[in-house]
Amino acid sequence: MTQKVEDGALAKLRELVAERMVGLPEEKHDSALGLPLQVTPFGAKEVNAMLEVMLSTWVTMGKEVRAFEEEWAQWCGSEHAIMVNSGSSANLIALASLVQTGVLVEGDEVLVPAVAWSTTLFPVAQLGLVPVLVDVCPERLGMDPVAAKAAMGPRTKAAMVVHLLGQPADVEALEALGLVLIEDACAAHGAQIGDKKVGSLGRLGTFSFFFSHHITTVEGGMVVCSNPALLDAARALRAHGWIREMEGREMHAAASPEIDPRFLFVSAGWNLRPTDLAGAMGRVQLMRLDPWLVRRRANHARFCERLARFDSVLQIWPEVLGTQHAGFAFPMCLRSDSEKSRADFMAHLEARNI
């Protein structure tokens, strides 16, 4: 096949993809269908970007992942980013890099908010650390700094700071406790405190790119940090403890001259690598993220405005002054003196496909 014929065939294929996926990502939604958890969040641009990766025949972690890492770090306001295969893996890698570099040691306590996803807590225990549950602040839904201080003991060294459902936690007050902060921003892409995005404020930050999150790589996650030692540890831990992607690989190779450096592993690790398909999809999705965040915040503000008249029975969470909500979901809490039960309220919503 000549280059001209091949280019023509590819152009036709891209056109067919565009025709097949017209209207996606969904820009409009039929209100009669209710409010689903997620509508299709990608379209022809993502599919064609992944098609290019497939046609290149290099589909495992490579240049697309590296480019996405650089673009995400710049967008987030962090020096480095390490892509992994899920947000859960991101939490595991973030904590493991702190253990690998000696910042945390077995038996150290890590504060974890009582309201969080399971994989905010489980990696703490899996790494030989001790999770200590702390209640959340009713005004912000994040870890309560007062409760955190009361829960601290002589071996308390770190805290998993969850920005729950897109609502920024009180990072400044938690930072004042002198703990190592790991920000779980898996559901808070683009949330801000002042002019800084969450995830970039702690020692490390984590994000999820699951199908129903702000952007998706189908499955995927990201760790951000600004510390070179943590970066190197995370890169090795992501790929079996291999030195191949470490900045310090030459130092490790020199320390073990009897081993071929192509096959030198310097720590225990996992295979948590993403694919270049995921990297290519993420790069296109990132270009969509800022406009989507504007719409999410507008929706959040509109819900708050419309529901304000039910304040006597329903607690909602408007943006806290000095912060920007990421609008991942819209939490509501029935007040204790409400005449209706939570089950009644949920049944009312679900009957309307919400």
If the chain, 354 residues long, is cut into consecutive pieces of 10 residues, what is the mean pLDDT of each piece?
Answer: 74 89 77 75 95 95 98 98 99 98 98 98 98 96 98 99 98 98 98 98 98 96 98 97 90 92 93 98 98 96 96 94 95 91 92 88
pLDDT of residue 2: 72
pLDDT of residue 5: 67
CA distances to 39, 43, 132 from 25, in Å:
8, 5, 41
The CB density around residue 125, as the number of other CB atoms within 10 Å, is 12
pLDDT of residue 295: 94
Give the whole-angstrom CA distance, residue 156 versus residue 148. 10
Model-level pTM greater than 0.85?
A: yes
pLDDT of residue 248: 87
Give the whole-angstrom CA distance, residue 331 versus residue 328. 10
pLDDT of residue 304: 97
The per-residue pLDDT for range 328-353, each reduced to its tens digit, is 999 999 999 888 899 999 999 999 88
The per-residue pLDDT for range 212-268, each reduced to its tens digit, is 999 999 999 999 999 999 999 999 999 999 999 988 899 989 999 999 999 999 999
CA-based nearest residue to 280, from 56, 23, 24: 56
Give the whole-angstrom CA distance, residue 187 versus residue 164. 7
- Is residue 110 within a helix (H) or strand (E), and if so which, with residue range? strand 109-113
252 in active site: no
Selecting among 213, 214, 252, 325, the annotated active-site residue is 213
The CB density around residue 254, as the number of other CB atoms within 10 Å, is 9
Domains of the chain with CATH codes: 63-282 (3.40.640.10), 300-350 (no CATH)
User: 86 is written with which tokens?
Assistant: 């899920």
Give the whole-angstrom CA distance, residue 138 versus residue 238. 36
- In whole angstroms, what separates CA 169 from the centre of its chain? 15
